[in-house]
Chain A
Amino acid sequence: MKIFFALLIIITIVFGGYHLTFRQFRLPLIARTFYLSGLEFILLGILLGPMFFNVLDGNSIRGLEPLMALLLGWVGMLFGFQFEISMLRRFPSIQFLAAIGEGLITLVLVFVGIYMTFGFFPEVPINMKVIYSIALAATAACTAQTGLALMASANQIVNRDSLNLICYISSIGGAGALVVYGFVFLFRPETSSSVSFLYRLGVEAGMTIIACFSLLLLYTLFLTKWRRSEELNLVIIGMAVLSSGMASMLNLSPLLLNFFMGFWLVNLSIEKERIFNLLISVEKPVYLMILVFLGAHFKFDSAWPLILASSYIVFRSLGKFSGWFLVLALRPDSKKHSPKLGLALIDQGGLPLAILLDLLLGFRGEFTKIVISVAIVGIVFNDIIGMYFQKRLFVINSDE
């Protein structure tokens, strides 16, 4: 009974919260910055979780895992839809490489930095350190797109070219991170000790290919003909549920598997626009639910994780600045863009949250909760200061 009430409470909070946050509520500017970062949903999750009301206890959370897998699949598919090759080709290839490079630099710097910081935690096994470091690095490589996109459509904007460039980088950068994140599943504790890395790589790659291939075939067969919208909804929902289940069963990431599906659909399906409209129609509630679930797993019972959180924020900022310099170095019109615009890449957005939930479900454990709590602190911090910097850098009279 409890699990259903937990679900009902979450749904009520999410839909009510969505309406208040994005549709109607007007708060003072400073409060709105916190509000739009999604902090309130994490706090609600913490309140519902085992630390306070215990509505979302261990059993309820386990019971809601199928829903969480579906949410991850949904986000993955949506993210894959950003990679329409014909759209990407409109920009010079050097820009694409620069965007990927920016993400990878951040990824490498954060990976090294976090892995070194894990030296303070000798109780964590080495393979888990690698897993956590890769996952945190992947979240760090992402840049928020929504705030930037909203800003780009506003009127009173300075540095519009730079804003467009940063929007482009933010939409591309996460892809490399997500693919690299997929590698954490090679270091699973259950398999890593008994067989060689290459063997594991082969098995994981083989299973991913079979899963992807069968799903792609199914999508192709279902979508070769025009479908009425009710039928299309059924096929997309059914396929999202199926592929999320398949990923969980094979110990793969639902996020990544569905990212590939989204990429395929946006490039080869005749129904891409209708599918995208369906996926985007519930995007915000999906993210808000992810925030509540992450909040319920929040665990910060000592000051030690603060070291990790600080390390995460510092190395990520370093990575983003270095990445921005790489972008400028690769572009012929680098003088048009100010070096300090790297600050606009600080905002992290929703994809890292999905990666964290994916990590949490794939690698259950008390330390995983600490790791995701560290990342949540970093993401909220970066979102708040990132939005502030974006306004300072791009909006005319942002103080008003």
Chain B
Amino acid sequence: MNSSYWRRENLTSYFFALIILVIVCFWLKSFHVESSWQHAGLLNLSVGALMLAAHIIARTLKTFRLPLISGYIFSGILAGPYVSGFLSFDMVQKMGLINDLALSFIGLAAGGSLHVELLKKRIRPITFNIVFQAIIIFTTVFLFVQYFGHLYSFTQAVTTVQLTALAIILGATAVARSPSSAIAVINECKAKGPLSETVLSVTVAIDVLIIILFTIAMTVVRFLFVQSVDSFHGPFFVLLIEIGLSVFAGIVVGKGISFFIEHIQDHLPLFLFFLAFGIARFSLAVSFIMEKYLGFSIYLEPLLICMSAGFVVQNFTPSGFFFKDSLKKIEIPIYVLFFSVTGSSLNIQALSVTWPLALSLVGIRIFGIFAGVGLAGILSGDLLKYTRIAWMCYITQAGVTIGLAQLAYRQFPEIALYISTVVLAIVLVNEIIGPIALKIALHLAGEADSE
């Protein structure tokens, strides 16, 4: 039996499965839900159906060489409140729990994917990429919004100060990446080599750097609006403590995971799954309790804790193999749910309102990435074939960017509407084209598994 016949057979069964799923879901959605037991059923039904449908759609799109996560995101968009309405806003909000859990889990996987020997070898290109990308992307987006922002109808009404503030916030959010998407695509392609290692390291590092950069941006914008800021030192001191404590917590958790693997090992995949969930919730609880009883809070970044933990287990304990093997066993269901829920929360309306500005910013950001990556490649003496295609690897944006935009939304009501609408539209485009571009780049570099 040849592979195309096999693929056709598979697609046929997937096609019919999808039709049955859709019919069943819409039949059940027509029922009047009364009791809490039925509400619980509706949630389970939605999660199960989304998981299976996303899997089918992603597998089908894979035959057109699209990455699986694009399929998951696309399924989420289709099922979400803006298109079919199968998932209501309330349901998508309830499923937000999955994001917390999955992000921590993805952090573990990201940390586990970083090898200290390879990092040492690639330290120059990694450092140059981080520095130049951050500077150039921020600058290009900032300058574009500052000087051309008035030309777009969506931002015509803003004042000069507001436009500068918007330019700073959009510049800072443009630097943010989606480590989860990068990890998912690299894992899916089973990519190994200098490009994928560099992409992973840079994406993860920028994820830490963006917190610092965004804090600076927020402080400057606050200064612009109120003309006075108590102190520049305070927020940075807290931030450094938060990062230090998160890394320390990650080291402790990593050692704990290694102890578990060496001495217990029962249900390791489930242990890691619940550990990720626990870390996400623990961070929130620490912050909440400190705020309530001490009047100030320190937020331990779950993603950073998990990345440090994964890095420690992989590089400084003998348990790396079991750790990665266990993560692999449950990563697909988590990826499917996480990306499809992400897709369902993407705001299509935002794009319809702001598409000229959003598309321009997507283009400018890509130009910034291209320039930053190119400069870093030339200065670090990377091979030309990598320098030419590496920009395609850094386009994806998702949860972190939306999270930052929400922070700014709450802090600056003067420009809240502009920030949230434009950022949501940009993320929507980047999250669709980013994984596809990354997959193409990995193939062009010859690092992806040819299968």
Q: Is A248 an interface residue (CB 8 A)?
A: yes
Q: Is B144 an interface residue (CB 8 A)?
A: no
CB of B17 within 8 A of CB of A65, answer no
Most buried by A among B23, B266, B285: B266
CB of A246 within 8 A of CB of B28, answer yes
Q: Is B233 an interface residue (CB 8 A)?
A: no
A66: chain B residues at CB < 8 Å are 40-41, 43-44, 47
Closest residue of chain A to B51, judged by CB?
A238
B284: chain A residues at CB < 8 Å are 1
CB of B17 within 8 A of CB of A222, answer yes
User: B35-64, CB under 8 A of A: which get 1 and which 0?
Assistant: 111111111111111011001000000000
Q: Is B13 an interface residue (CB 8 A)?
A: yes
Q: Which of B129-137, B174-182, B243-251, B273-281 contacts A (4 or more CB under 8 A)?
A: B273-281
CB of A237 within 8 A of CB of B333, answer yes
User: A214-248, CB under 8 A of B: which get 1 and which 0?
Assistant: 10011001101100011101110111111111111
Count of residues in A whose CB is under 8 Å from the partner chain: 49
Question: Which one, A15, A214, A244, A247, contacts B24 given CB within 8 A?
Answer: A214
Q: Is A70 an interface residue (CB 8 A)?
A: yes
Q: Is A250 an interface residue (CB 8 A)?
A: yes
CB of A246 within 8 A of CB of B41, answer yes
Bound-state Cα–Cα, A281 to B330, Å: 13
B35: chain A residues at CB < 8 Å are 364
B332: chain A residues at CB < 8 Å are 230-231, 233-234
Question: Which one, B41, B264, B329, contacts A249 given CB within 8 A?
Answer: B41
A15: chain B residues at CB < 8 Å are 266-267, 270-271, 274
CB of A242 within 8 A of CB of B45, answer yes
Q: Is B444 an interface residue (CB 8 A)?
A: no
CB of A233 within 8 A of CB of B40, answer no
CB of B21 within 8 A of CB of A218, answer yes
A68: chain B residues at CB < 8 Å are 40
Interface size class of B (residues with CB under 8 A): 35 or more
B237: chain A residues at CB < 8 Å are none
B97: chain A residues at CB < 8 Å are 4
Residues 40-75 of A contacting B (Cβ, < 8 Å)? 62, 65-66, 68-70
Bound-state Cα–Cα, A235 to B13, Å: 14
Bound-state Cα–Cα, A241 to B49, Å: 8
CB of A230 within 8 A of CB of B13, answer no
Question: Which one, A241, A250, A281, A364, contacts B44 given CB within 8 A?
Answer: A241
Q: Is B328 an interface residue (CB 8 A)?
A: yes
B21: chain A residues at CB < 8 Å are 218
Q: Is B143 an interface residue (CB 8 A)?
A: no
Bound-state Cα–Cα, A231 to B14, Å: 13
CB of B17 within 8 A of CB of A8, answer no
B296: chain A residues at CB < 8 Å are none
Question: Which one, B33, B45, B55, B285, contacts A1 given CB within 8 A?
Answer: B285
CB of B37 within 8 A of CB of A361, answer yes
Q: Is B291 an interface residue (CB 8 A)?
A: no
Question: Which one, A221, A222, A245, A247, contacts B43 given CB within 8 A?
Answer: A245
Bound-state Cα–Cα, A242 to B31, Å: 16
Q: Is B331 an interface residue (CB 8 A)?
A: yes
Report B116 CB to chain A, min CB distance, Å: 27
Q: Is A11 an interface residue (CB 8 A)?
A: yes
Q: Is B336 an interface residue (CB 8 A)?
A: yes
Bound-state Cα–Cα, A23 to B260, Å: 14
CB of B267 within 8 A of CB of A281, answer yes
CB of B36 within 8 A of CB of A249, answer no
CB of B28 within 8 A of CB of A249, answer yes
User: A69-106, CB under 8 A of B: which get 1 and which 0?
Assistant: 11000000000000000000000000000000000000
CB of A225 within 8 A of CB of B20, answer no
Q: Is A285 an interface residue (CB 8 A)?
A: yes
Bound-state Cα–Cα, A262 to B380, Å: 59
B45: chain A residues at CB < 8 Å are 242, 245-246, 249
Question: Which one, B46, B48, B264, B328, contacts A239 given CB within 8 A?
Answer: B48
CB of B47 within 8 A of CB of A245, answer yes
Residues 89-131 of B contacting A (Cβ, < 8 Å)? 97
Q: Is B16 an interface residue (CB 8 A)?
A: yes
Question: Which one, A8, A19, A361, contacts B266 given CB within 8 A?
Answer: A19
Q: Is A5 an interface residue (CB 8 A)?
A: yes
B41: chain A residues at CB < 8 Å are 66, 69, 244-250
Q: Is B160 an interface residue (CB 8 A)?
A: no
Bound-state Cα–Cα, A230 to B331, Å: 8
B349: chain A residues at CB < 8 Å are none
CB of A218 within 8 A of CB of B20, answer yes
CB of A249 within 8 A of CB of B33, answer yes
Question: Which one, B38, B42, B274, B333, contacts A238 given CB within 8 A?
Answer: B333
CB of B36 within 8 A of CB of A245, answer no
Q: Is B414 an interface residue (CB 8 A)?
A: no
Q: Is A282 an interface residue (CB 8 A)?
A: yes
A225-B10, A285-B267 known; A245 and B51 CB under 8 Å?
Answer: no
Report B326 CB to chain A, min CB distance, Å: 12
9 new A-B contacts, CB < 8 A, other than A15-B274, A361-B37, are A1-B288, A69-B41, A214-B24, A222-B13, A233-B333, A242-B52, A248-B41, A249-B45, A364-B36
Instruction: Give the interface of A toward B (CB within 8 A).
Output: 1, 4-5, 8, 11, 15, 18-19, 23, 62, 65-66, 68-70, 214, 217-218, 221-222, 224-225, 229-231, 233-235, 237-251, 281-282, 285, 361-362, 364
A-B interface, 3 closest residue pairs, ranked by CB to CB distance from nearest: A248-B41, A245-B44, A242-B48
Residue pairs across A and B with Cβ atoms less than 8 A apart, 14 shown, are A1-B285, A8-B274, A15-B271, A15-B274, A19-B264, A23-B266, A239-B48, A243-B48, A245-B42, A246-B24, A246-B28, A285-B267, A362-B37, A364-B36
